[in-house]
Chain A
Amino acid sequence: ETGVTQSPTHLIKTRGQQVTLRCSSQSGHNTVSWYQQALGQGPQFIFQYYREEENGRGNFPPRFSGLQFPNYSSELNVNALELDDSALYLCASSRGLAGGLNTGELFFGEGSRLTVL
């Protein structure tokens, strides 16, 4: 069973640039969630995708956007990067909301560490 994989693992950008982070969900999972974890903090929910549509969003501005593809992989895009966007970005996958037991268990990738200079 392949786990959640994220790329790139590390990247450095400058303020104002745009970044795309990628996530492949675990086999059999059709829901992907994204979290931002600033240094010394717990993860904060950005948004979730189910069946290629956004299904829930945390308190993040519109410059944080995402996509989910038919194979359930996902991208997180951040435009107009700010210094405070420096963080570990975590992707998590889970089984879908419809059909089967909804365990609610999230399986996390190892994250993409973004540094904004």
Chain B
Amino acid sequence: AQSVTQPDIHITVSEGASLELRCNYSYGATPYLFWYVQSPGQGLQLLLKYFSGDTLVQGIKGFEAEFKRSQSSFNLRKPSVHWSDAAEYFCAVGAGYGGSQGNLIFGKGTKLSVKP
């Protein structure tokens, strides 16, 4: 069965420090992978996505993620965190593309806190 694991429930980093949020997936075929961010009381905003091609993908707000098939991972990174990055981050895998494109499987999320 398809699944997404985000091992870190809560991470605290200092403003200006680098960030890496971990995501591991289980999926039988070539996955479509996504990172979304959710601020308190808000919906989900897409940060970046991987469908095929270059395994290092760039997203909005200075985020990037690297797809590593051998490790079944799609970790999110940012070189310098800003206080406004404090939010909850969700990794997701597309489970039904070509048929049911809306069927994303989400991890449980990682809450990011930023220290001044």
Report A's interface with B, CB cutoff 8 A.
4, 31-33, 40-45, 48, 55-56, 58, 90, 92, 94, 97, 102-111
Contacts and interface: CB of A to CB of B under 8 A. Distances in A.
Interface residues of B, number: 29
Interface stretch (B11-19, B38-46, B60-68, B69-77): B38-46
Given A42-B92, A45-B95, A108-B44, 5 more contacts: A31-B101, A31-B102, A42-B90, A48-B100, A102-B101
Contacts, number: 72
Contact of A43 (B44, B46, B99): B44
B35 to A, nearest CB: 12
Nearest to B49: A105
- Does more than half of chain B's interface fall in helix, strand or loop, or is it mixed? loop
A66 to B, nearest CB: 12
A92 B106 contact: no
B27 interface: no
Contacts of B102: 31-33, 45, 48, 55-56, 92, 94, 106
Given A56-B99, A97-B101, A104-B32, A90 B43 contact: yes
A31 B101 CA distance: 9
Contact of B49 (A104, A107, A109): A104
